[in-house]
Chain A
Amino acid sequence: MARRRQGSGKEGATTVGRQHAPSGVPALRAAVSAVAENASALRHRFDEWASSAELPAELIEVMSLAVYEAMANAVEHACHDREPGDLRLSAAAGEPGRPGRVVVTVEDDGRWRTPDAEPGLRGRGIPLMEALAGVVGIETTDGGTRVEMSWATDAFPGRAG
């Protein structure tokens, strides 16, 4: 965790206002209806954001899959017995509180889906997210589910083998 400093006036002045990645790319925030086609489209937007933030190509591939799996889970929660709710994605790189990290959150309004009765066919999404992100935080409430994943901006934690 970064130590907070009460520094010079100049340093303090830079902490207020919009947060930007080191490359100057603002955080990505999007909300769509939680259906499969939107999750695919939102993944493309995430890829473009990560490219514009000049993150390494292999890290983008790894993050893209993990982010998609989280969104696919949200879609599957959402579509069971009612109108699909919202699927919200946020992504930020190099924020002051998390230097050197890309932090992504995926939120939905749905209920957490219990694993399928037939073992082995489904249920690979979360293990895959964990393998790709290393640390995956999942918070479930009555109102929905929030998944947070983060990566070092210069790492490829999903490299197999």
Chain B
Amino acid sequence: MTAGTPSPDENGAVVTERAEDAVVLRVTGELDLATAPKLQQKVDTALREAPPAVLVIDLSAVTFLASAGMAVLVAAHRRGGEHTKVRVVAAGRVTLRPLELTKLTTELAVFPTTEQALAG
């Protein structure tokens, strides 16, 4: 491994925060084929046990976003359906570029900050 490469444990790590009737999943590092299952697992948990009104997936600390990661976002959005509104936080070029190029900024609800995502 080279300098600057995140450790396997931290890379793609997801922290779950619960607010009133909302769950925020904060993702760190690279969201790619290797790490997407970590986010998928947290999404599954959040939507299975007492699904919240709002699920925010915060990509502010994501340094690389690949299509495998975007597939998790789309799956969460579709699974949330009417019951749980799924919102994505993406502000930087490395996350917005792939979302825009795949036209997911129109399918997904994308916000620049967690606060705006929680407010809707």
Contact = CB atoms under 8 A, between A and B. Distances in A.
Interface of A: 36-37, 39-41, 43-45, 48, 58, 61-62, 64-65, 68-69, 72, 75-76, 120-122, 124-125, 127-128, 131-132, 158-161
A61 B67 contact: no
Contact of A158 (B2, B35, B101): B101
B15 interface: no
Nearest to A58: B93
B64 A36 contact: no
Name the prevailing secondary structure of the A interface residues.
helix
Interface size classification for chain B:
20 to 34
Given A44-B2, A121-B75, 12 more contacts: A40-B32, A40-B33, A40-B34, A41-B1, A69-B67, A72-B66, A72-B68, A128-B98, A128-B101, A131-B102, A132-B101, A160-B97
A122 B40 CA distance: 14
Given A37-B34, A39-B33, A128-B102, A65 B66 contact: yes
